[in-house]
């Protein structure tokens, strides 16, 4: 199921990580923990964070599934140096089942790609989403942690995931436009899911001071208007090593783990709520309930 064309120059890297072989995934009785990564605004670093988080957590021995839910503008596969033959669009159309679209990635993680330019994912109907979530449901019993990487905006699929998730990771930048979109996401998340546990990551900060001042602005506004705020997780510096890793299609946690940004990502992967990201009912059951 894996197409290696186009990633040939990463052959050594892929062999090193044992990619290209499909492993049998053991089934467990307990549903996976699941988290949603969102921002409101595009380009804040969600996919960089989600893909590195997936690697770092799978390096700890967890069975991790990364689902790229960026409707039609998916890029997690590029960041991971993978070329999936199938994606969520195929699953939605019924061309393959959920397992047929999984691609093994670095560190043992599995990727379910979002696909590029998929109209069906950009504007799904209630019925389409319900069918998709139903098809994906069995995956919950095959992983320890599922990370949903979302795109920009506050679309239908994201709303249902916000309603379903126990844990939301908001990725923003110090600019006022990014902070304001992140605030809109946070507000919306708490409206559809008052019990959601939210944490904020400030990415692409030029210094600790600028990260802290961005966080203070966010926290201040959230407290003033909503009476509560997310938890502070950490900040990630603007680091050319991130761009280099994107260009090389090897996540920074693997290619340059000592880089400043990689060290921040490693701290973020230790955020306590990631160990408890569970609701009373499984994620897709809740997401399907939110469609009604």
Interface positions with ligand ADP (CB under 6 A): 39, 42-48, 75, 203-204, 236, 238-239, 242-243, 246, 261
Closest distance of CB 50 from Mg ion, Å: 7
- Residue 253 found at the interface with Mg ion (CB under 5 A): no
Taking CB under 5 A as the criterion, the residue among 34, 39, 44, 47 binding Mg ion is 47
Q: Which is nearer to ligand ADP, 17 or 171 (CB)?
A: 171
Residue 45 touches which of ligand ADP, Mg ion, none (Cβ within 5-8 Å per kind): ligand ADP
Strand 102-104, strand 110-112: pairing: antiparallel
Residue 246 touches which of Mg ion, ligand ADP, none (Cβ within 5-8 Å per kind): ligand ADP
Residue 43 touches which of Mg ion, ligand ADP, none (Cβ within 5-8 Å per kind): ligand ADP
Q: Choose the stretch contacting Mg ion; rule: CB under 5 A; options: 40-48, 113-121, 241-249, 253-261.
A: 40-48
**CA neighbor of 153 nearest in space, from 109, 110, 123:** 123
Footprint (CB under 5 A) of Mg ion, residues 52-91: 70
d(CA 95, CA 140): 21
Region of 106 please: left (phi>0), alpha (psi -120 to 50) or beta. Answer: beta
**CA neighbor of 29 nearest in space, from 142, 184, 174:** 142
**CA neighbor of 124 nearest in space, from 152, 173, 171, 88:** 88
Query: Could you give the count of Cα atoms lying within 13 Å of 30 in the half-sphere of its Cβ?
Result: 12
Closest distance of CB 243 from Mg ion, Å: 15
């Amino acid at each position: 199921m894996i197409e290696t064309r186009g990633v040939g120059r990463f052959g050594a890297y892929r062999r090193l990580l044992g990619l290209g072989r499909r492993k049998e995934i053991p089934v467990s009785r307990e549903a996976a923990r699941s988290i949603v990564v969102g921002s409101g605004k595009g380009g804040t670093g969600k996919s960089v964070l989600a893909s590195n988080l997936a690697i770092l957590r799978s390096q700890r021995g967890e069975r991790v599934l990364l689902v790229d839910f960026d409707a039609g503008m998916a890029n997690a596969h590029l960041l991971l140096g993978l070329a999936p033959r199938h994606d969520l669009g195929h699953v939605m159309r019924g061309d393959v089942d959920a397992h047929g679209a999984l691609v093994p990635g670095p560190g043992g993680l599995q990727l379910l790609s979002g696909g590029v330019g998929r109209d069906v994912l950009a504007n799904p109907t209630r019925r389409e989403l319900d069918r998709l979530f139903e098809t994906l449901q069995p995956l919950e019993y095959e992983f320890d942690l599922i990370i949903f990487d979302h795109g920009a905006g506050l679309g239908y699929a994201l709303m249902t995931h916000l309603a379903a998730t126990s844990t939301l990771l908001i990725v923003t930048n110090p600019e006022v436009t990014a902070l304001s979109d992140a605030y809109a996401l946070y507000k919306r998340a708490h409206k559809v899911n008052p019990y959601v546990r939210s944490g904020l990551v400030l990415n692409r900060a030029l210094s600790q001071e600028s990260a802290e001042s961005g966080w203070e602005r966010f926290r201040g506004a959230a407290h003033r208007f909503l009476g509560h705020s997310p938890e502070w997780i950490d900040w990630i510096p603007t680091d050319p090593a991130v761009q280099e890793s994107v260009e090389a299609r090897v996540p920074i946690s693997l290619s340059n783990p000592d880089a400043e940004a990689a060290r921040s990502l490693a701290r973020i992967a230790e955020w306590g709520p990631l160990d408890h990201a569970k609701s009373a009912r499984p994620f897709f059951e809740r997401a399907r309930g939110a469609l009604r």
